[in-house]
Structure formats: C-alpha cells, structure tokens
Chains A and B, each alone.
Chain A
C-alpha cells in the first residue's frame, strides 16, 4: 500500500521571518549560496525561489493593520499622540516553496522522466537523469523550478524525499521554531488549516485566507499550501494558477485535426497529381 499523500502547510500568520528554513534546506540539500545581494526589499535578500533557493522567506511591509494589532507608528507628519492619526503598519513574512501540484505541469512536459511523482505524492527532479532541456521551467505556473547557472540542470524543492524515505520530516519543517511550516498527511493539514483560519477570523484577522488548499483549483490543489494574510499577489504568488498543460489534450486534438486536414490535403493533391 502506498503511503498517504504528504504535504506542507505554511501558516504565515506565525512566521517570524527567521529564515531558518532557508538555511536548513540549503544545508541538508547542499544547495549552493547564490550571491550576496543587498536588495533593499525589507529583510528579504534572497529575492525569490530559484535553482539555488528552495525555501524563500518574503518580507512585506504594508501600511495596513494586522487584525487588532497596534503598530504604534506615525508617519507623514501625523500626530503620534492621536490614535486616529497614527498610521497603520504590518510586516508580513511568508516562507514560499514548491507547491508539489496535484496536476504538475513540470512533470507533464519532462521528456526524460527526470521529474516524477513519488509515493508520497510529491514531485521530484532526479539530478542524475535531468538533461537540462529546460522545458519544465516555463511550464511551472508558479515560476518555481529553475536551471542552475553553470550546471544547466533543473532544481527545486524535493520535500526532502531522502528524509521522507527514512521516516523523517523535511529539514525546513523540522527547523521551523514556531511551526509556521507544518509537514504531514495532506488531508490532515487541510483540516488543521481550516481550523486555524476560523481562529484567526474570530480574532479579527479578517484578511486571513488559504491558498492552494482547494483540490478544485487550476492545479488540482497544492501539496504545499499556505495561510496568507493578504492577496496572493502581495506575496508574489499567482492569484489563480492553472496547470500550463491543462489544455494540452485539447491542443493536441486541434493539432491532430489540423494535421489530418493537412495530410488529407496533401494526399488529395497527390491524388490529383496522379490523375
């Protein structure tokens, strides 16, 4: 019997932005350092997911309140002693990762079979098979998978397949001090996430929403889903991701019809020529 589908639930409402997940991921998976760039994007200096960043913590400073939180700041000349005049501020942090889609386009387009679906329902690149063709890269609706410079092969989160095989949890989830990153049976995580969402709504954090949890979405639901505190776009996530290979069968049908028409046309011309 194959094991249950495993997944990540990343609850960004309790992420403290420590980036331990980024470091643990790199340490365990031997992902190389990829540049000392001061980006000026708040405390985010790794900028986004890529071949050499499999966990990425976004830092988003917004002039909006976080539930009933009192931020205490006053900008644009506002009188700080006037509670009504003080400006709002919230600092969102979120650890992004490969979504391990139910319908994974990267896997669909991989011509070598390097990308495969594991017994845990996760999507993994086999580095000894990948030939660096790069088809998977434009196929990913989230822009996650990427080619490593000077290497050419495609790399991304494996949900620590090697650790799962021996019954351990992924490095990022194990190291996360606040359990913002939770690893477990996907169905259980979805249930837990729904409960957490209710809790936050009751606490006045009405912006809270789940992302990637719904099996009826454009990718059939994500194996790694999130609790966000804003629109997905605020975190650099596509609002309505669609598996890029969803239309492939239809496209192939259209292509087949076209090819058939072309072939019959060609044949007809020969027939005519034969006369």
Chain B
C-alpha cells in the first residue's frame, strides 16, 4: 500500500501512531513492510491457504463473534442434501461438468429456498426462473454480473444453534479443518509461529469492542482463483464481525483513480450502469423476462425494473415508451464472454476487426504482451488515445516482433489512429474511490494542442456518426439515432459539460427536477436515471460530489466531503454496527443505531437501512422488495438479508474458496488431488503455452516463482510515467529483485543482467540483489521467488523489457482476470538473445520441458 497508494497510506500511518498493529503479508519485503509491525512473506499464489488457515483457527478456537455470526450471516442456513464439498470429492464441488469445464450450481442451494445471486453470475438461473430456453450461446452462461438477490420461493431452513450437519457453519468448519498451521507452513512457506501471531493479532483485535480491516490490491485479484481470494477474506471478516462496522471491512485498492467509477458506470462488457446485468441473447427475451430472470423479489434489487427503465429513459428519452418496452431491444446481447482476453483471441482469429485503446497500454500492461500485439496486427483499424506514443501505438514499426522477424511492417494491414489525450488536470469530472466516494475535480488549465478529453472525443464522435446516419431508415441505425445526445458544450474546443452529464446520471422526475434518491425511481417511464446507485449525487440541482467541507468542521464520518453511493452512506451495511435490537455493539464502535423515541435509525453515518424499519420488524407473508427483509437483516442487497459465508449462487467456481495452485506452479497441490481451479479459463495457443506443474516431468525447468508488481515511482504500464524525466530518473531501468541465495545459485551479479524465461518468452532485466527477497521453505525444499516490476516497455524516456511478455493468458472464470501475480519461471545470468535467437531460446525451453498444446490444460 505504501508502494502503490502512498497518499492513502498516510491513514495507515496515522492509525499506527494511535496504536494500530499493521501486518503486511507479501512475497516481498516492500516499503509497506518497512513501516509495518510484522512482515509475513509467503509463496505467491497461496493466499487462500493462508486465509483459510486463519478461518480454521477462528472456528477451532471459537474466536468468532457468535452473536453477529448467528444474526447477520448465513451461518445457520441449511444447505440442501445434494451438496457435496471438496472434502467429499477430493478438491472439487458437486455439479462439476468436466467436459464443458463448468459447474452446475443447483446443488449449492439453500434447503427450502432458491436464492438469486447477490452479485456475480445471475443469468445462471434464467432458465429456471422464466421457464424459457437457456441462453442462445451456452458459453454465455455465467456472464451476468451485478449485485442483488432474493428468494423465489419459501424461507430458508436454519439452525440458530449452528449444530445441524448441513448448516453453513458446520460445512465451513469441515471444509477448512484441513487448513491447519502445519498445512499453511507446507503450502505458503509461512512459519507456524508467524502464522499464529497473525491469527492472535487479528482475533484479539476483533469482536464487540474492536474491529480489524483488510486492505488488498491486485496481488489478490490477478489469479485464476482471484475472486475466491476475496471471498476467503469476506468469510473471515464475517466470522469476526468486521463488516458494516467502523474500522472494519475489506478495502480494494484500485490500480487507477476511478477504477471503482469504471465498474459503477462500467467499461465492462457484462454490466450496465449500477451493476444491472447486461442481457444475454435469450430467444424472445423482453424487459419483463429479463427482470424476471435476473432480479430477486426481496431486498432493493427487487426494484431492478425501475432502475432499468429509468436508465433506458435517460439513454433514449422520448423514444423509450411503454409500448416499445422502453427500447430494451436496443441493448446489446451477450453471446458469451467478451472480456479483453477473449477479444484478443477474436482478433487473432480474425473475428474482431476494430479496437479502441483508451488510457491503457496492453502491449506492455496485459498478460502475454506478444499476444496483445499479434492480435492488434490482425485488425483493420486501431484507435489509441494516450499522452504519448505508447507501445500499443507503435508496435507495428518498432515492437519486439519486428526485431525477432515474426512481423514485418509492410505486411501489417492495421490502420492505426493516434489521438493525444488530455490529462485529468485539464478536464472537469469525478473520481470514484474505493469507498464509493465521488470527488469532483475542476480543470486547472486547457489541454495543449490537439489533446482532448475522453468526453470530448466520444461526444463529438457520436455527434458525427449521428450526422452521417441522419435520415437512415435502416432499423440497425435506430438506436444510434434515438440516443439522447444533446449535451451542452462550452469553451473554445466545444467541451461537453461534465456537470450536465452528472445531472443526467443523477436523474430527473417527470417534471425534469433532479431526483434525490433511488427510492424515487419508477418503472413506468416517469423517471430518468443514468445510474441508479448514483441517484442523489445531483440532489437539489447541486453537484454534491464537489463538496469540500474540511474534516475539522464536521463529524468524523465527514459525510459532507464529496458524495458516496448509495445515498451518501460511507460504510455499507452499517446496520450491522448495531446489535439485532438496534443498539451499538459497543460504545467504542457505535456508528448507527435505532432511536426508539423518534422511531428512526440515526447515528454518525447515514443508515444503510430503511430509516423507519424497527429492529423487531418481521416481514409479512408475501412481502417483496425491502419490505421482505427483517429489521435485523443488515445486508439489504441480499436475497436473505444475510452476509454470505457460503455462496449458493453467483459464483462460477464454487460456493466456498478452496486452495488451488496457480496455472503454472512448481508445486503440487498439498490439499487436494485437484491441482488447479477446475473451471479456470485456459487458451492454449502457439504463443500462449502453459508449463508443467507440480510433480509433472519438465516442471523443474521452471523452478522459481515469479510475481509482478508496481513501484511507487511509476504508474502501471508506464504511459503516465516513463515519458516524464522526473519520474524516470527515480527508477530508470527494468530490474528484477532476487535474494542473495538465488543470485549465488544462478550466478547472478548485482547490477548485472539477468534473463527470465517462461514458455511464452524471455526478457532481460538489471539485477537487484537484496535481502528483502527471502528464500522460503515450501514442501520440504527451498523456494526462491523473483520480483518483477511491470512498468517498462521499449518506448519512452525510460525503457526496458516488459514483464508481461512472460505471463500466460489464464483467467479467473468469474471476472476473466489474468494470472500475473504468480507463475513459475527460470532465471539465468546475462542479457537475452536478440532477433530470431530469442524465439529459439524460448522454443528450446519448451522442448526441454516437454511442452505441448495439452500441457496445463487439464480440468
């Protein structure tokens, strides 16, 4: 966190100065470790084993917060008798379809109740819920992500004593029983004494009077089991009662400003604004069918139709009418996963012809950088918008494949358009941070030359396309012609008003007045709203995100700084900060509480709960929406109002996290016979070969574990930093970090050169020998890890080889994120070969390891 979020780390330092214990779990001793109370090095790719070990410790030693656990989580819920755990099936769950590499989740359901997912894959249930045919493309199943959940029928059976053999708590207890301290040591290389000190610190600081927070970044997400890493932390925090309470939570630190914003109002293929799932290509699906298939009946997601209709009204204005389903048919339909990596595959297969790259640099920053470039070389056209001529804009004339002879400039037909982009200091807009808080920024200066904001680019691109299509009678053009595209522009370059767009996102009532809350949204077309969770950000016609009342002039929650969704609540599910009767669990941790005199919820934060719902409220039969949840159900977006220890629906790879080895790992899975996540996504291609793992022959060709990361001095793939002299001089070259022991073992010289090799490619880096990299004892042998910053590429003021040349494309099946935080590799002294000799070296490694197209693709 100190490395990549130095500004946010000030609060960790402040907490530390007030007595907080800071524990840093990371393969490397970093700038964060330097300031922590404890650094716990572990083998990259083994965090589920580590966290699962803590879960086991908490359960076996009864260190959980029992009152919270029973009342607020699904610990007591009974799972149907057809469920089989990894304990029963040696590492996989019931429902695994090995042939199609996917799970049928039906056996994971609650006893007596079918629940819709709170998030994740909601389309899974479409067929059951509508009685209609399944998605046109089978591959599409499991592609609707979002947030929400509800009961279709019945109430779940529970055992508040947590003793029923099929209750979630007992399943959890059995599932993690094998995650012992000895097993953690064996798998993660974390010594038992260190592990137990972490367990003790965490449990001693959790409960009625104290809370602990987890902070993670892409070190947790970028794995073939990335989502389940976070899930394990969620289980732990729910056991300890650390969710919905001040000082608790699980914080996702993002890689860019407003990455949170880009999922709220998404740049993702599978989401509409506000986590409404993108519809699938079901035959004859209409709006009501879509809502029936994907929305729950209980909790706030029950109003999904209001959110969707208001969105369609914001987008298509008067053209969206009840008699045409509010233009629901204008929305694209998913026919499968269209993530960035599947797009690359489609490019290589010639199915994807055009590509926009905006503020990204996949030729450096995405896994298997060569595949990224080869995909782009197969396009008709490519648009790149960035500050500088990044590698993704110039690969066709000076990329690594030109040097190796794999590509010749004259043979590349891709037409490349480069547009200079304006920086955030040159435009108005909002950033949404990990706390879901929007903070407005005002342009400090006009952009130079031809540089323009993204807003300008897309607005005028749309304007020109609409002018070209004007008068068209082709039904295909109707959505573009009907879209509301009437934003006022201002200034010398006709910049669209960002303020007007925020007002559209906020939404308006039938009279055009700004809305104040998503509870005002209607499904009859009388309201508009560009993103239901952002409704209220422009309440009273005021840009609430631009508020900057200093912290010293308001209470400690500081609700008057910026604006947080939903409804300006700063801590989600904060009903859980009070006990079931509505009283704070303790004075020290009071946040919101029930005021019986006023008959309302009140407190320091804005209650994330129906304001006048009494703690004793019990929903009547047949209740729907928020009214269907009880007064002691804090998780108001969930079907059952509970925090989910066990996930009956929504995840594609299992209801509970289990440790699986990374795609390319030098170790066998010590916990199960199942080596890897059985439903991970793999794409064995000529340029994307996988390596033997564990005990397989050839595994020892790649004996080390590599992890990639960022440095404070640079930003992601370098587009914002490698062209800047002041930053480049601080970290001027690509380097690798190795321990003195690994340097000795492989003959690496400090400040000399090393070549790092995988089945995909080989790169060179300067060598930084440091005791901050420590050897670990894993499964009875010494393991060395190699640290690789991923900022560099061949262009820019500070240049070097890109670490992502080495990584394979192997993905988490829920969110399609690449596994770049843990893969095996070899390292050797000296610079890498040039030209065709580079390709030859990689092929030689592939031969030595016996790699074929089948390697690493087993279920």
Interface residues of A (CB under 8 A from B): 14, 16-20, 22-23, 26-27, 33-38, 40, 42-43, 45-46, 61, 63, 66, 68-75, 77, 79-83, 86-87, 89-93, 177-179
Contacts and interface: CB of A to CB of B under 8 A. Distances in A.
B820 interface: no
Given A33-B726, A35-B729, A38-B751, A73 B772 contact: yes
A72 B798 CA distance: 33
A72 B740 contact: no
Contacts of A35: 729
A38 B766 contact: yes
Interface string B1-18: 010001101100100010
Interface in B21-39: 29, 31-39
Given A45-B732, A46-B730, A17 B31 contact: yes
B34 A19 contact: no
Contacts of B772: 61, 73, 89, 91
B712 A73 contact: no
Contacts of A63: 771
A79 B712 CA distance: 32
A5 to B, nearest CB: 27
Given A19-B730, A40-B751, A89-B772, A70 B13 contact: no
Interface in B175-202: 185, 189, 191-194, 197
Nearest to A27: B726
B713 interface: yes
Q: 8 nearest interchain CB pairs?
A: A33-B725, A36-B732, A73-B774, A18-B6, A91-B34, A40-B751, A16-B2, A81-B191
Interface in B749-775: 750-751, 766, 768, 770-772, 774-775
Instruction: Report which residue of A46, A72, A81 has the largest number of chain B beta carbons within 10 angstroms of its beta carbon.
Output: A72
15 contacts: A18-B2, A36-B798, A43-B731, A61-B771, A61-B772, A69-B39, A70-B37, A71-B29, A72-B41, A73-B29, A73-B771, A75-B741, A75-B771, A81-B777, A91-B29
Given A20-B6, A35-B729, A177-B9, 20 more contacts: A16-B31, A17-B712, A18-B712, A19-B712, A23-B727, A33-B728, A34-B729, A40-B766, A45-B729, A61-B770, A69-B39, A74-B774, A74-B775, A77-B741, A80-B774, A80-B775, A82-B191, A89-B29, A177-B10, A178-B10
B735 interface: yes
A245 B625 CA distance: 82
B730 A23 contact: yes
A42 B770 contact: yes
A2 B10 CA distance: 34
Nearest to A25: B726
A84 to B, nearest CB: 10
B739 interface: yes
A36 B729 contact: yes
A68 B37 contact: yes
Given A71-B39, A179-B10, A38 B733 contact: yes
A208 to B, nearest CB: 14
Interface in B685-711: 711
Give the interface centre of A22, A43, A75, A77 by most chain B CB atoms within 10 Å. Answer: A43
B730 A72 contact: no
Given A46-B730, A81-B185, A70 B751 contact: no
Interface string B36-67: 11111100000000000000000000000000
A91 B31 contact: yes
A72 B729 contact: no
Most B CB atoms within 10 A — which of A19, A87, A90?
A19
A63 B194 CA distance: 19
A80 B189 contact: yes
Given A19-B730, A38-B766, A87 B35 contact: no
Contact of A14 (B13, B32, B732): B13
B776 interface: yes
Given A33-B729, A61-B770, A90-B34, A81 B29 contact: no
Nearest to A63: B771
A95 to B, nearest CB: 13
A38 B732 contact: yes
Contacts of A81: 185, 191-193, 777
A23 B724 CA distance: 11
A227 to B, nearest CB: 13
Nearest to B25: A72
Contacts of B191: 80-83, 86
Contacts of A87: 771
Contact of A75 (B6, B726, B774, B777): B774
A71 B2 CA distance: 16
B237 to A, nearest CB: 23
Contacts of B768: 40, 42
Contact of B771 (A34, A40, A66, A89): A89
A37 B732 contact: yes
A74 B191 CA distance: 11
Contacts of B727: 23
B34 to A, nearest CB: 4
A177 B735 contact: no
B20 to A, nearest CB: 13
Nearest to A88: B771
Contacts of A178: 6, 9-10, 13
Contacts of B189: 80
Contacts of B31: 16-18, 43, 91, 93
A35 B731 CA distance: 11
Contacts of A93: 31, 34
Given A61-B770, A69-B37, A75-B774, A16 B9 contact: yes
A75 B197 contact: no
Contacts of A18: 2, 6, 31, 712
Contacts of B38: 69-70, 72
Given A17-B31, A72-B41, A74-B775, A26 B740 contact: no
Contacts of B770: 42, 61
Contact of A83 (B37, B193, B750): B193
Contacts of A36: 728-729, 732-733, 797-798
Contact of B777 (A40, A61, A80, A83): A80
A34 B13 CA distance: 32
Which residue of B771, B772, B797 has the most chain A CB atoms within 10 A of its CB atom? B771
A72 B34 contact: no
Nearest to A23: B726
Contacts of B194: 70, 72, 83
A35 B35 CA distance: 29
Nearest to A70: B38
Contacts of A17: 2, 31, 34, 712
Nearest to A71: B39
Contacts of B37: 68-70
B728 A75 contact: no
A223 B191 CA distance: 47
A43 B713 CA distance: 10
Interface string B352-368: 00000000000000000
A177 B32 CA distance: 14
B751 to A, nearest CB: 4
Contacts of A26: 726
Nearest to B191: A81
A161 B473 CA distance: 68
Nearest to A79: B777
B740 A177 contact: no
B29 A75 contact: no
B583 to A, nearest CB: 36
Contacts of B730: 19, 22-23, 45-46
Contact of A177 (B6, B34, B733): B6
A63 B38 CA distance: 16
B852 to A, nearest CB: 37
Contact of A71 (B33, B185, B713, B798): B33
Contacts of A86: 191
A87 B33 CA distance: 15
A229 to B, nearest CB: 11
